[in-house]
Structure 1
Amino acid sequence: MCKFIDVVDFYIGMINALKSRKIGLLSPLEEICLKAGKDSFAYIDNRRDAKEKYGYDFWGIIKNQFEEKKQFIDWIKSRVNEKLLYSKSEQFPDFLFKVRKHQDKFICGSLLELKDSKGGSIASFNSTLPTKYKNLEEIDVINNKNLVSRIASLIDGDLASEKGYRTFERRCFYLVRTHAGRDDKVKISVVDGSFFETVPKDNLIYQMFLNILHAHLEQKTIRIPPDILNQIEKALSHVTDQTIIAASQVIEKASVRPRLRIMAEVHSEGNPHSNFYPEISERSVNLIIDASIYEKKLDEIISQKIPEIKKFTIHHKRNGDHVVFQYKF
């Protein structure tokens, strides 16, 4: 079974919801996700709007397991603060799919982060660097709290108690829309994190701090002997863990605990909706995945549900071939 069949099903659901006009290309991305994903989520960040605006009760499936509402409240309040049940938590990610198990291994459980832009550029990544994979432990450190993992564990049920659940590497996907509000120019894509992680995250972080060091040395016209500079660079090469960087720091005598939050802007070659990739046409809805994880059976799975689907390959200058499934409206 495809390890990210959850996202494939989501993509198929999105196309079908658009074809049936339950949603439109200009609908809010959250509404698109809820109509396409239905009950496939283990975490939704904005549970408040999901219920109030779109009539989607995130806790509905669990509630149905109890005869009375009070029984559900009694059960949930020892696990999650009742005030958080229908809140906008502003945690990463926006959506998390349920974990499944196949041949005694975890699959699915993919992350989905939303990126909406009125122009042709992709909105900045404000909470974390885009990557191919993240696990729940890393997500908790990024958020500086464990709300996402606690809620996901409740929805995933018995699977959450199994060994490796919190460290299972989950594929990251990004629902990207550009030219939002322009019915003639809008593009929507579910993009594999590999499209953005063209340099391993550890190397990217190290190089970033190295660039900062060299910029300061140049600005202050400071010259450091090459052997000492090499030692400094070697030491910086160990500064690679974003979870440590993102954690609050305790500084002696300081009355605050500083945190570093790394933001990222997308280079035009890392934007599948840019002119570098003319195949991604206007008014199209795409699933873009790394060619290395593409499986032939995906063609059959998707084409059986969407016979009009088009498949082709685009070449990412910085990260090789990516397979695209496209439906044009």
Structure 2
Amino acid sequence: MSMIDAIQLFAEILNNLKKGSINLDSPLEEFVIRACGNDLAYIDNRGEAKQKYGFDFWLGLDGDQLKAQGIEKRLLYSESQQFPDFLFKAKKTGEKYVGGSLIELKDSKGGSIASFNSTVPTKYKSLEEIDVINGNNLVSRIAAVKDGKLARNKQYSRFERRCFYLIRTHKGSEKVKISIVDGSFFETVPKEHLFYQMFLNVLRKHLEKNQVKISEETIKKVEEALSHVTDQTIIASSQMIEKASVKPRLRIMAEVHPEGNPHSTFYPEITEDSFNLILQPSPETIKLKKELPAQIPEIEVFSIHHKRNGEHIVFQFKKNAQLTRFVQ
């Protein structure tokens, strides 16, 4: 159930490719809105969704609900420029939250994945973490309106949501590749380790630049101290500095190493003119390997070996294949 949103998105995009309502050169926003618009709890560019694609994100909602969450009229059809680009509606199985996945778009005319300008790509993120990354709670407030009663529980903002990335490289060329990528593909080391090692690297570079020599014993003590700097929500929050008239805030950004790019030459199985769903193996994925091809015979299923994070399973559709309707 944790991957239900990504599976639905993949299947519905294939349906739209078959109908010709989109193609591999269509805007990525259009991919998502036409496929799953009614299942979204957050759209960042709500104005474009309505003006370009005829999708009214607020349709059917009571104005009092919006007012209760402090959502002003000016925010209704604007581009908020918050993270993420899209958020699926949450669901509940018993007492457990499922769904509510994040979808972030990355579009590039070259072979590299566009930089992550607001956060480090990971497998999971909670709404609490999203609010800190953004420096405000707008995404949470809008999602709460769309999710209604499900948002009243304290766990709503704390449960870990799956992160998926809809990436396109070589946009507008015959080499185009598009994939829905599990956040696990990018999170090859725990983000907590990544953060403190980043600060340690910065220190080492400064010591080298200033020709300052420190014993290895001291470096180890510094590393031990920095190993406690692991919480992105704290790192990204504004800091109060004594006597300072400004509150500095670190914005975490990330670039993808070629081995972490499924569209790079490290993974020749991801072919040009293809649309892919790339998932980390799990009991759910293993089951999907049998079920999805039975419903969409045109897709190929195979594994690729991540150079830094092991096996990932690929569900691939090639442009020249004739699609059939996905039956839910």
Give me the TM-score of the superposition, normalised by structure 1. 0.93
Following superposition, the deviation at residue 230 of structure 1 comes to 2.3
What residue is the counterpart of 2:323 in the other structure? none
Deviations 1:163-192 (A, max 9, x none): 41111000100000001111x111000000
Displacement of 1:250 in angstroms is: 1.2
Per-residue deviation at 1:85?
1.0
Alignment match, 2:133:
142
Q: Which amino acid aligns with 2:172?
A: G
Residues of 2 paired with 1:105 and 1:303: CA distance? 29
- Report what 1:120 is aligned to: 111
Aligned to 2:49, the other structure's residue is in SS state helix
Aligned residue identity for 1:5 = I
Separation in 2 of the partners of 1:86 and 1:168?
Answer: 28
In percent, how many aligned pairs have the same letter?
62
Q: Distance in 1 between matches of 2:310 and 2:172?
A: 31
What's 2:198 paired with?
Answer: 208
Give the alignment of 1:269-280 within 5 angstroms.
269-280=259-270
CA contact (8 A) 2:236 2:250 kept: yes
* Alignment partner of 1:242 out of 229, 232, 246: 232
SS state at 1:322 partner: strand
**Post-superposition shift, 1:304?**
4.4
Query: Which of 89, 92, 99 is equivalent to 1:98?
Result: 89
> Partner residue of 1:37?
36
Matched, 1:315 2:305: yes
- Root mean square deviation of aligned Cα: 1.3
Which one of 277, 290, 294 corresponds to residue 287 of structure 1?
277
8 Å contact 2:65–2:145 — kept in the other structure?
no
| Distance in 2 separating the partners of 1:202 and 1:75 | 37
Letter in 1 for 2:297: P
Q: State the match for 2:72 in structure 1.
A: 81
Deviations 1:53-90 (A, max 9, x none): 11111111x33xxxxxxxx3344223211111111000
Closer, same or farther: CA 294–280 of 1 in aligned 2, 3 Å:
farther
1:297 paired residue among 287, 297, 317: 287
Q: Deviations over 1:123-145 (max 9, x none)?
A: 00000000000000000000000
In 2 relative to 1, CA 170–205 (structure 1 residues): closer, same or farther, beyond 3 Å? same
Q: Confirm or deny: 8 A CA contact 1:248 1:257 kept in the other structure.
A: yes
Q: Secondary structure at the match of 1:139?
A: helix
SS, match of residue 266 in structure 2? coil
Displacement of 1:319:
0.1
Moved more, 248-257 or 44-53: 248-257
Deviations 1:14-49 (A, max 9, x none): 011011101111011111111111311010111010
Deviation at 1:226, TM superposition (A): 3.4
> Is the CA contact 1:134–1:171 (under 8 Å) kept in the aligned structure 2?
yes
- CA shift at 1:305, angstroms? 3.7
Contact persistence 2:66–2:145 (CA under 8 A): no
The answer to whether residue 20 in structure 2 is matched with residue 21 in structure 1 is: yes
Return the alpha-carbon distance in structure 1 between the equivalents of residues 90 and 41 of structure 2.
8
**Deviation of residue 300 (structure 1)?**
4.6
Within 5 Å, which residues of 2 pair with 1:180-191?
A: 180-182=171-173, 184-191=174-181
Query: d(CA) in 2 for partners of 1:201 and 1:260?
Result: 16
Q: Distance in 2 between matches of 1:99 and 1:301?
A: 24
Query: What is the CA–CA distance in structure 1 between the aligned matches of 2:225 and 2:46, rounded to whole Å?
Result: 43
Structure 1 position 294, deviation (Å): 4.3
Whole-Å Cα distance in 2 between the matches of residues 76 and 321 of structure 1? 44
Query: Mind listing any 5+ residue stretches in structure 1 that lack a counterpart?
Result: 64-71
Hey, what does 1:49 align to over in structure 2? 48
Contact 1:12/1:305 (CA < 8 Å) preserved in 2?
no
Distance 1:30 1:208 in 2: 32
- 2:280 maps to a residue whose letter is D
The residue type paired with residue 194 of structure 1 is: S
Shift of 1:229: 2.6
Aligned partner of 1:55: which letter?
A: G
Alpha-carbon distance between aligned partners in 1 of 2:153 and 2:91, rounded to the nearest angstrom: 12
Tell which deviates more after alignment, 280-289 or 221-230: 221-230
Aligned residue pair count: 318
* Alpha-carbon shift at residue 233 of structure 1 (Å): 1.6
**Which residue in the other structure is 1:129 paired with?**
120
Tell me the secondary structure at the aligned position of residue 11 of structure 1.
helix
Q: Deviations over 1:247-274 (max 9, x none)?
A: 1111111121111111111010000000
Alpha-carbon distance in 2 for matches of 1:155, 1:304: 34
Counterpart in the other structure of 1:66: none
Q: Per the alignment, do residues 293 and 111 of structure 1 end up closer, same or farther by CA in structure 2, a change over 3 Å counting?
A: farther
